[in-house]
Every structure is written in C-alpha cells, then in structure tokens.
Amino acid sequence: MTEPTSPVLLQARDVTIGYDGRDIVNRLSIGIERGRFTALLGPNGCGKSTLLRALAGLLAPRAGTISLEGQPIAQLSRKQLARRLSFLPQIPRAPDDITVRDLVEQGRYPHRRPLAPWSAADRAACTEALELTHMVALADQPLAALSGGQRQRAWLAMTLAQSADILLLDEPTTYLDMAHQLELLALLRRLVDERGKTILAVLHDINQAGQFADKLALLSNGSIAGMGRAVDVITPETIRTVFHVDGMVLPNPMAPGPLFLPRTALTIIDATGEDATRS
C-alpha cells in the first residue's frame, strides 16, 4: 500500500468527551494522518461515535483540544470547517420524501454564498458524487423509496459533494450486504489512493479493516488500546483485551496482512442479562 507514516492532519490531544456529566472518552490522543484510510474499531459503547462527533466539531470536548493542521477547530466557523471536513453520522435523518438529488445538493452548502446561483462547480461536484456512489439512476427517487443500502450511498454522496479533504464516517457499512460493503470499502480506498482524501471510518469487521485500511485504531473504554498497521495491531492478545474474543491470527492467503479467525467470546450472559467478562 502506502508509506508507513504521513504528517498528521487532524489531531486530538488529551480530549475528555462526555454527555450529561458522564465522561465517555478519557484523556485520549489520536492523530489522523493525511492521505490515509484509518479504521476505528472497538466494542459497542466504547466511545467510537462520541470521538467521531467530537472530531467533526459537533460535540465540544470537556478538556483537551482538537486541531486541524495545528489550528484548533473551535476557532473555525461551521462553514470553514465543513469545507475541509465532512461527517456522515451513523443514522442520519432527513424528511422521507426528499429526493436523492436534493439531499446531495445540500452537501454544497459550505461552498455557496447567500443568494448566489447554482454554479458549474456545484453541479460538477454533485454529478461526480452521484457517479462515484452509483446513484445517478436513482437521483430523482425519494429517500423513502430506497433500500437501506441505497439510502446509505445517497448519504455518502451528500458527504462527497461537500468536496472536503477529510471524511469522517460512522459505520458506513452497517446497513449493507456483503457485496455492497466490499464495494463501499473499495470506493473509500480509491478516494484515498486517487483523490488523496483522508478517511477515518468506524468499522465493525476487523478483517475488512485489515484488508482496506492503512491504519487501525482500536478503542476500548474510551481510550486508544492500539494503533498502527494491521500486522502490528491484529494480534490474539490485543483482540482478546479489546473485544473479549478468543481466536487466532493467520496470514491472509489472498492479500498481504493478517486474518483473524474468532473461536469464542470470552463473555457470559448472566441471569440478569448483564455482560460479565470472564477473563
């Protein structure tokens, strides 16, 4: 793939983030490298979405700073930030009867001045976003008429129309079947390789992450439990600690890199339905 390290573009330093007086992420530091595809992984409730929302500037950290090329994002206006960074929430919502095209055009918001007409650049960015996500034929359909996977691609098209260098994606593969998952991950890979985009995506499948991403960041209980290339991060020990899953790591016969084969979960469900970790 690419060179092992690249300059850091988006940086969180000692951030503590939480809702309603409860800290979910604790004094966490992470640097997202320019022109790389970083996958963020971790068990449910470990703070992945919270961290992503903070990196997108939607949630102000209680302590610590998040900076974009050295400038704290709190100093940028929403519009300035949106021109450089786009974010796709886990379950985005919009009125059901909005069409794909109208949704994608919303991605141009940070590039348009009040009352300015629709420009050639706006049109080009929307057309390209629709083409990249294979949504051209569905552009005039209302969102409600689409399948879960198509809807997800419509939202991704809106995010791409924003023409930002950084894409933060919260579980973009969740509603997709296996073929669409692979297609989406290949698209993300291409955006990084061909367009020089910087991507941070929350993924669930560690093998897909190992196959498509440059870097893996493992999050556990609100702090980074490991970050690096797949070969360094995917080890039986780290996966046991982070995911409470026992298994073994094999060389991937189809591609360079490791493959994790799960054997059993190290958790038991007790009578109250609570998870209790055995190890």
Partner 1 sequence: MPNLDAILPGRRRNRRALGLVLLIALVPPMALWALTVGSSQIAPGMWFDALMHPDGSREHIVLLDIRLPRMLAGLLVGAQLAVAGAIMQAVTANPLASPGLLGINAGAAFAVVLALAFTSIDASGSLVWFAFGGAGVAGGCVYALGSIGRGGATPLKLALAGAVLTAFLTSVTTSLLLLDQGTLDNLRLWAAGSLMGRSLATVAELAPYGLAGLACALAAARPIMTLSLGGDVASTVGQNVVRWRLLAGLLVVVLAGSAVALAGPVGFVGLVVPHAARMLVGADYRWIMAYSAPLGALLVLVADAGIRWLVGIDLPVGITMALLGSPVFIALARRRSGMMR
**φ and ψ at residue 35, rounded to 5 degrees:** 65, 25
List, as one string, the DSSP characters of 106-158: HTTGGG--TTPPPPHHHHHHHHHHHHHTT-GGGTTSBGGGS-HHHHHHHHHHH
**φ and ψ at residue 200, rounded to 5 degrees:** -125, 115
Identified binder of partner 1 from the candidate list 31, 61, 110, 210, rule CB under 8 A: 110
Using the minimum distance from each CB to partner 1, give the nearer residue, 116 or 179: 116
Tell me, residue by residue from 61 to 90, as one string, x for binding to partner 1 by CB under 8 A and - for no binding. ----------------xxxxxxx--xxxx-
Using the minimum distance from each CB to partner 1, give the nearer residue, 57 or 210: 57
Q: How many residues bind partner 1 (CB under 8 A)?
A: 35
Residue in the block written with tokens 């960015």: 125
Q: How near is the Cβ of 256 to partner 1 at its closest, in Å?
A: 35
Tell me, residue by residue from 123 to 142, as one string, x for binding to partner 1 by CB under 8 A and - for no binding. -----------------x-x
Stretch that binds partner 1, among 33-41, 51-59, 129-137, 240-248 (CB under 8 A): 51-59
Beta carbons within 10 angstroms of residue 6's beta carbon: 16
Q: Contact at 8 Å (CB) between 68 and 55?
A: no
Q: How near is the Cβ of 51 to partner 1 at its closest, in Å?
A: 16
**Residue 198 binds partner 1 (CB under 8 A):** no
Q: How far apart are CA 151 and CA 184, in angstroms?
A: 13
Q: How near is the Cβ of 39 to partner 1 at its closest, in Å?
A: 21
Radius of gyration for the chain, computed over Cα atoms and rounded to the nearest angstrom: 19
Q: How far apart are CA 167 and CA 159, in angstroms?
A: 8
Q: Contact at 8 Å (CB) between 88 and 104?
A: no
**Residue 92 binds partner 1 (CB under 8 A):** yes
**φ and ψ at residue 212, rounded to 5 degrees:** -105, -30
Instruction: Give the three-class secondary structure for 6.
Output: coil
Using the minimum distance from each CB to partner 1, give the nearer residue, 81 or 184: 81
Q: How near is the Cβ of 115 to partner 1 at its closest, in Å?
A: 6
Tell me, residue by residue from 161 to 190, as one string, x for binding to partner 1 by CB under 8 A and - for no binding. -x----------------------------
Q: How near is the Cβ of 107 to partner 1 at its closest, in Å?
A: 6
Please give the residue ranges that form the binding site for partner 1 (CB under 8 A).
56-58, 77-83, 86-89, 92-99, 102-103, 106-107, 109-110, 112, 114-115, 140, 142, 158, 162
